[in-house]
């Protein structure tokens, strides 16, 4: 999937969302996509930028998951695929070792101390039965966006079957309907 996503190109919809951002009309883009096409079109997906404020834009697109990053099974730290450069192991279905844990283990071995189990890396995609380690950050950004009281909600290309997305859409739609705003649901 990751190799396919590297060759994928942004669509007119991605460019439309970028146009909304550039025109100052976009509060935020929330997506479940894992292909990182939002980044390719120029939208920021760095959650560390936070929600922003009047003088600072913050993150443009809340990207829940990414095939470009790997997450450690033990420490939940993320690493870029380039940083780990173990493509063969990953493609063979074997998780490469977490660089952070590997360094700690090497240091303990050198000091003749008991080593720790090294976490393995896997794609930074959250299965349905797991909690998203970014949930608190995403919730804080969504709460801030609700306070902005947007007047239009565009829901594009989702079936609303994932609980978290359904909850987010309901929360936003409720605020927008209270203001007599518009909720537009476009399915693919």
Please enumerate in sequence order all residues whose Cβ is within 8 A of that of 59, keeping only pairs 6 or more positions apart, or say none.
28, 44, 45, 46, 47, 48, 49, 50, 51, 52, 141
Token output for 12: 């007119």
**Would residue 64 show up in a list of annotated catalytic residues for this protein?**
yes
Could you please report the per-residue DSSP string of 54-85? SS----SEEE--EEEEEEETTT--EEEHHHH-
Cα angle value 174/179/149 (rounded, 5°): 75
Annotated catalytic residue: which of 64, 79, 163, 177?
64
Q: Is the dihedral of CA 83, 86, 87, 90 positive or negative?
A: negative
Task: For residue 153, give the 3-state DSSP assignment.
Answer: strand
Q: Which residues pair with 154 in a beta bridge?
A: 184
Nearest to 145 by CA among 45, 60, 23: 60
Catalytic residues: 64
């Amino acid at each position: 999937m990751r190799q396919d996503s590297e060759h994928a190109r942004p669509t007119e919809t991605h460019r439309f969302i970028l146009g909304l951002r550039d025109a100052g009309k976009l509060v935020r883009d929330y997506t479940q996509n894992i292909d990182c096409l939002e980044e390719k079109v120029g939208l920021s997906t760095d959650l560390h930028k936070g929600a922003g404020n009047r003088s600072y834009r913050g993150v443009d697109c809340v990207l829940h998951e990414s095939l470009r990053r790997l997450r450690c099974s033990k420490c939940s730290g993320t690493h870029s695929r380039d940083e780990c450069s173990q493509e063969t192991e990953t493609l063979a279905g074997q998780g490469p070792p977490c660089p952070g844990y590997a360094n700690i283990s090497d240091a303990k071995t050198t000091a003749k101390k008991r080593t720790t189990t090294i976490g393995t890396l896997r794609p930074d995609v959250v299965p349905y039965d797991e909690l998203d380690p970014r949930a608190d950050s995403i919730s804080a950004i969504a709460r801030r966006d609700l306070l902005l009281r947007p007047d239009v909600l565009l829901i594009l290309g989702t079936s609303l079957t994932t609980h978290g997305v359904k909850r987010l859409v309901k929360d936003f739609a409720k605020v927008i309907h209270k203001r007599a705003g518009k909720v537009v649901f476009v399915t693919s």
